[in-house]
Amino acid sequence: MMRALPALPVREILPDLGEALHSSRSAVLSAPPGAGKTTLVPLFLLGQPWRGDGRIILLEPRRLAARAAAGRMAELLGEKVGETVGYRMRLDNRISGKTRIEVVTEGVFSRMILDDPELSGVAAVLFDEFHERSLDADFGLALALDVQSALRDDLRIVVMSATLDVERIAGMMGDALVLKSEGRSFPIEIRYASRDTGGRIEDAMVRTIAEALRSEEGSILAFLPGQAEIARTAERLAGRFGDDTAIVPLYGNLSQKEQDAAIRPAPKGTRKIVLATSIAETSITIDGVRIVVDSGLQRLPVFEAATGITRLETVRVSKASADQRAGRAGRTEPGIAIRLWHSGQTAALAAFTPPQILATDLSGLLLDLAHWGVADPSALKFLDLPPETTLREARDLLVELGALDSSGALTSRGRKIRNLALPVRLAAMAVAAAEEGRAQEACLIAVMLTEQGLGGNSVDIEERLRRFRSERSDRAEAARGLARRMAADLGASKKPASGAALPGTLLMHAFPDRIALQRGGRGRFVMANGRGAELPEIERLAAAEMLIIADLTGRAGAQRVLAAAEVTREDVEAHMPKAIVTEEQSFFDRASRQVRARRVTRLGAIIFEERPLPRPRGEAAARALADGIRQLGLAAVPFPKEVEQLRDRIGFLHRSIGEPWPDMSDAMLMSRLDEWFVPFQAEAGGIDGIKGRDLAEGLLSIVPFELQRDLARLAPTHFEAPTGQRHPIHYDGSEPLLSIRVQELFGLKAHPTIGAGKLPLLLELISPGHRPIQTTRDLPGFWAGSWKDVRADMRGRYPKHPWPEDPANAMPTTRAKPRGA
């Protein structure tokens, strides 16, 4: 087998890889673009004695890369795809009984291992282009390592990438051996071309492409952030060149035939300009390309847990991605990579693209973990653990959809949802629809929504569905077949319903929080989750009274609807009878700063009808008032001076002694309003009704009872001077402060203390005119030292007041000297 492999750089380290997998079962392989790792490593492993008759699974991040890798390996073996080498992905499967190398997309592998934890018949799993750090790749590796440690100590695992933090990943894999293949097949010259940051990227791209086409030979691969930029660039390039130059787009929405056509070599005597997204970064070779033009931009999905919405952001590529893109120029001959930024900006690029697990919806991951028997992701080996806030939102959604119970365990409904190869929300819709005899229609909608471009790109889901039903492309046929199989797997608890269901009535089961009511004019809607969303006024759906929104983008407060269907209130009442409720509410009216009450009929945050009620009292009113404090901030609470001092005293003890003395900071008190505020404000009714005594009682309530009696001893409110006068101690600074006229301390030989005599007070000694004279933490030292200079200065300013030479033995006073003294 080795003699048949092409002489690509990675070939030199294949014997070392074979030895590593013979002795330790895990390895990390770093090889630059063009080294041949994607095709040569699986073919080499076919001949390893430990493989037996086991299959080799190669994971690829994209369908295009999977098909290309399988095709190239089959070509090297002189076979067709589907014989020794095949591929498996959503909507496409080329596997036979002879297949021993399966190239699969990462999501397919996750389902393979979840459904068969022993990975029966699999000898090795290879994770290609792992640096992309998709959620499916991270999860697949975590599961594979778990299987290897618990069930299959003979399973081989290899992680491969052109750009990877190899030491970190090797450490997670139990100090796996790291192998590095040096050098590319051909050298690449990196050039930089500056562009106007205020201009459109398409203009700079067209200018650079045209110049490169005139001055260099070979075809061009140009990287742009998205489909829209590709279309605009293609439009600007159209007609600029002769018939010997083809302009070809390459992005995920294209059909398989269109994608395959883009990566085929240009006919002899012609050139090709391929305008691509990040889909062309890895694992594919476009023959004839020796020039790469890189915009330096990519479009990444960013999930906002607070809104449950994933939006696309255009951001700078990472250094790793820039290297990957440049590497496409040197796959078949020496090449050139032109970067549309200054050379100095390269050093400022992030090293790697952020892992998807840190910024994506985790509901599907949590559902799969529950199926695996794991409630906490930290129980598995993830290179980066998911954020707790996103996990919490995902758990709440799964409980709402009935997929998890309150303890986080998988329910019978959850098992049905997980069995469908669909996003969680759409799978929940299909399961609910099956119970109504509508499985076929729901699965058709779900598959259409997960395959971009099927049925067109209309915002109106009903219109897309009509077009999808009649579409005759291979992709559409395969998608409809998948929907039929899903519906058949679901079965039906009811006889199939007669007549077609409106998409909106089915989608309510997937997006109950995104049922929306028009409010504020045509095209403006408020959703059940309280967020706003907008449609262009020219859209038909902009006039709808109610919508169910399946997809939207943008930040909170400026969200644009991408896909929706019309619904009515009657639809909601018929299909979700418990969703619309009538109840009495107490709420905080920000304008009047008062608590008010109303009877409302609502769907989440959508108010259909409301009627005012008499002003409330009791716990409900107190909770509404607390909500007002959350809106306005703690500064809105009218703390009297004595209550502020109480808060400061407790806060001082927390800072100096620690727990169990409670933290009194704004942030902590805001987070504990339900403990110290709500139980004591049942009669307040508004901000102006908050009483100081109730605030004091509330603050003391969070001090453990056994400590309350120590409060006066450790942090007294006042200091009693030798004159018998009481002076407040200030605890609002970094240390307790006593501000007092110096004459009142005459005769005092020991420094005043608090905290059972352990902590000296910071004394701010003031003049008869109430101006600071000195601060000290050592009164006896002050008497013996700098008092002499202070006395000399003060005698001239305040001659009517006593300034004795020996204040430690003088009589304290609050008065001036008697007349004539």
- pLDDT in the model for residue 525: 95
Q: Do 403 and 423 contact (CB within 8 A), yes or no?
A: no
Cis peptide before 660 (omega within 30 of 0): yes
The upper half-sphere exposure of residue 461, i.e. CA atoms within 13 Å in the direction of its Cβ, equals 29
Does residue 442 carry a pLDDT above 90?
yes
Q: Do 66 and 103 contact (CB within 8 A), yes or no?
A: yes
Rounded to whole angstroms, how far apart are CA atoms 477 and 255? 12
Domain made up of 188-353: CATH architecture: 3-Layer(aba) Sandwich (3.40)
Chain position carrying tokens 């006395």 = 791
Does residue 3 carry a pLDDT above 50?
no
Rounded to whole angstroms, how far apart are CA atoms 786 and 780? 11
Q: What does the pLDDT look like over 627-641, one tens digit per residue?
A: 999 999 999 999 999
Domain ranges (residues) in the chain:
2-180, 188-353, 457-578, 583-595+607-715, 716-809
Q: What is the mean pLDDT of the chain?
A: 89
**Does an H or E element contain 580, and which?**
strand 580-589
- pLDDT in the model for residue 498: 58
- pLDDT in the model for residue 48: 94
Q: What does the pLDDT look like over 257-315, one tens digit per residue?
A: 888 888 888 888 899 999 999 887 776 777 788 899 999 999 888 777 666 667 778 88
Does residue 34 carry a pLDDT above 80?
no
Q: Do 296 and 337 contact (CB within 8 A), yes or no?
A: no
404 — phi, psi (to 5°)? -125, 150
Q: Residue 269 is which amino acid?
A: G
Lowest mean pLDDT among 539-548, 707-716, 762-771, 808-817: 808-817
Q: Is the pTM of this model over 0.75?
A: no
- The total of other beta-carbon atoms located within 10 Å of residue 676's CB is 20
- The tokens of 717 are what? 């409110």
- pLDDT in the model for residue 556: 63
- The tokens of 574 are what? 């018929």
**Does an H or E element contain 40, and which?**
helix 37-45
How many residues in the chain?
Answer: 821
Does residue 183 carry a pLDDT above 80?
no
Q: What does the pLDDT look like over 133-169, one tens digit per residue?
A: 899 999 999 999 999 999 999 999 999 987 667 888 9
**Does an H or E element contain 567, and which?**
strand 560-567
Rounded to whole angstroms, how far apart are CA atoms 272 and 575? 54
End-to-end CA gap in the chain: 116
Give 816's pLDDT tier (boundaries 50, 70, 90).
confident
Average pLDDT over residues 510-531: 92
Lowest mean pLDDT among 29-33, 514-518, 569-573, 670-674: 29-33
- pLDDT in the model for residue 2: 42
Q: Which of 426, 380, 384 is nearest to 401 (CA)?
A: 426
Contact residues for 512 (Cβ-Cβ < 8 A; gap 6+): 400, 528, 576, 579, 604
| CATH superfamily placement of domain 2-180 | P-loop containing nucleotide triphosphate hydrolases (3.40.50.300)
Contact residues for 137 (Cβ-Cβ < 8 A; gap 6+): 59, 61, 106, 127, 130
Q: What does the pLDDT look like over 454-500, one tens digit per residue?
A: 898 899 999 999 999 999 888 899 899 999 999 998 875 556 555 66
Average pLDDT over residues 352-379: 90
DSSP 8-state code for residue 684:
T
Lowest mean pLDDT among 66-75, 280-289, 800-809: 280-289
Q: Do 210 and 238 contact (CB within 8 A), yes or no?
A: no
Contact residues for 595 (Cβ-Cβ < 8 A; gap 6+): 586, 587, 588, 589, 615, 616, 621, 624, 625, 628, 684, 685, 686
Does residue 658 carry a pLDDT above 50?
yes
Beta strands in 279-413, from DSSP E residues, in sequence order: 289-294, 297-304, 309-316, 335-339
- pLDDT in the model for residue 210: 93
Average pLDDT over residues 86-92: 89
- The tokens of 301 are what? 């999905």
- The total of other beta-carbon atoms located within 10 Å of residue 96's CB is 11
Average pLDDT over residues 512-539: 92
Q: Which of 764, 773, 819, 763 is nearest to 797 (CA)?
A: 773
Average pLDDT over residues 754-770: 89
- pLDDT in the model for residue 1: 42
Give 406's pLDDT tier (boundaries 50, 70, 90).
confident
Q: Which of 328, 324, 330 is nearest to 349 (CA)?
A: 324
Collapsed DSSP state (helix, strand, coil) of residue 404? strand
Number of H helices, E strands in the chain: 28, 31
- pLDDT in the model for residue 554: 76
Q: Do 571 and 508 contact (CB within 8 A), yes or no?
A: yes
DSSP 8-state code for residue 50:
G
Q: Residue 222 is which amino acid?
A: A
Q: Do 143 and 380 contact (CB within 8 A), yes or no?
A: yes
Average pLDDT over residues 782-787: 92
CA 148 vs. chain centroid, Å, equals 29
Does residue 680 carry a pLDDT above 80?
yes
Rounded to whole angstroms, how far apart are CA atoms 524 and 507? 20
Of all residues in the chain, the percent with pLDDT exceeding 70 is 96
Q: Do 193 and 209 contact (CB within 8 A), yes or no?
A: no
- The tokens of 339 are what? 């970067």
Average pLDDT over residues 244-260: 84
Rounded to whole angstroms, how far apart are CA atoms 608 and 641? 45
Rounded to whole angstroms, how far apart are CA atoms 528 and 544? 16
Q: Do 296 and 270 contact (CB within 8 A), yes or no?
A: no
Of all residues in the chain, the percent with pLDDT exceeding 90 is 62
- pLDDT in the model for residue 8: 83
DSSP assignments along 476-519, one per residue: HHHHHHHHHHHHHHH--SSPPPSSPPPHHHHHTTT-GGGEEEE-
